[in-house]
A = this chain, B = another copy of it.
Amino acid sequence: MTDNHQVRLAARPEGLPTPEVWEHTTEPVPEPAEGRFVVRVSHLSLDPAMRGWMNAGRSYVPPVGIGEVMRALGAGEVVASRHPDFPQGAHVTGIFGVQEYAESDGTGVLVVDPSVVPLSTYLAVLGMTGMTAYFGLFDVGALREGETVVVSGAAGAVGSVVGQLAKIKGCRVVGIAGGPEKCAWIVDELGFDAAIDYRAENVGTALRTHAPNGIDVYFDNVGGDILDAALARLRRGARVVICGAISTYNATGRPAGPSNYMSLLVNRARMEGFVVFDYADRYAEAAAELGGWLRDGKLRSREDVVRGGVADFPDTLLRLFRGENTGKLILQIG
């Protein structure tokens, strides 16, 4: 029997999570009780939302408790089971936490087939990432064919899918990303119509160039000045989809709000937030459609895979906040 290495939240971070906020623990691998099973986690999903889960206070999910294994989506293989729906050898995804082995009763766990797409893709385009892009763009954003879509964090996990979905729907798509490599990737490889490098360009000026008639749907993953620049360029009846605000997650003071929000009035526009978990009863619909586009080559899933142990989780997480990932950041264990 091997050990189960884990990463637990030891303290609530102020700003970027430093090594002190984590505790590395080792436990025996659990034996499954009746109706439960044990998963050996092979892939961990790294998500900007994790930073929010580490904060105290009311949110859309309870905070991770001090001393608890850090919450994380993951994928792996069932290695011991007393649950008929999740037999030994099955491959699964679920909220397994930052640990090598997780016990589960099957709540929120999906069986997946790694012969169709790699296991990592079930954490990317065919996982919460893809669901977030799909429901955010189509339901919250109420996208219509031919519209102009702008997405921030465009080379990130969700943003890169959002832009591709909008292209599939015949939209003009402008992505905002950091650095020339990411900008080249979203245009050359993913087919975006234009990219704005927010590190090198004035985003407001560039939006005027690349979305000359204004923005119909702005899908925001970053918040801050980029959100403000996009608000200033809304078209009448625009929808602003609030998916995330990674630029503010590690702010230690009160982050500035979008001072151009009155553009919502001038343009009869709306700004709306959502949480992908609310769409659980429609995941199958989205997975089927996303899977079809993936199979037909209309949609690409890029996973930025870091190999290591669970102990590498804290450092890997920081890559998100430094903007070092392209596509979906995944930690592959072992």
**CA of A255 to CA of B270, assembled, Å:** 20
Contact of A242 among B59, B248, B264, B273 (CB under 8 A): B264
Contact of A265 among B242, B256, B263 (CB under 8 A): B242
**CA of A262 to CA of B255, assembled, Å:** 11
**CA of A272 to CA of B140, assembled, Å:** 13
| Contact flags A6-28 to B (C-beta < 8 A → 1, else 0) | 00000000000000000000000
Between A59, A223, A242, A267, the greatest number of chain B beta carbons within 10 A of the residue's beta carbon is seen for A242
- What class of interface size applies to chain A in its complex with B? 20 to 34
Give the chain B neighbours of A228 by CB distance below 8 A: 257
| Contact flags A249-286 to B (C-beta < 8 A → 1, else 0) | 00000111111111111111111111100100000000
Q: Does A322 contact B (CB under 8 A)?
A: no
Q: Is the CB of A242 within 8 A of B261?
A: yes
Q: Does A245 contact B (CB under 8 A)?
A: yes
Give the chain B neighbours of A226 by CB distance below 8 A: none
Q: Does A155 contact B (CB under 8 A)?
A: no
Within 8 A of B (CB), among A230-249: 242-245, 248
Q: Which residues in A have some Cβ–Cβ distance to B below 8 Å?
A: 58-60, 223, 228, 242-245, 248, 254-275, 278
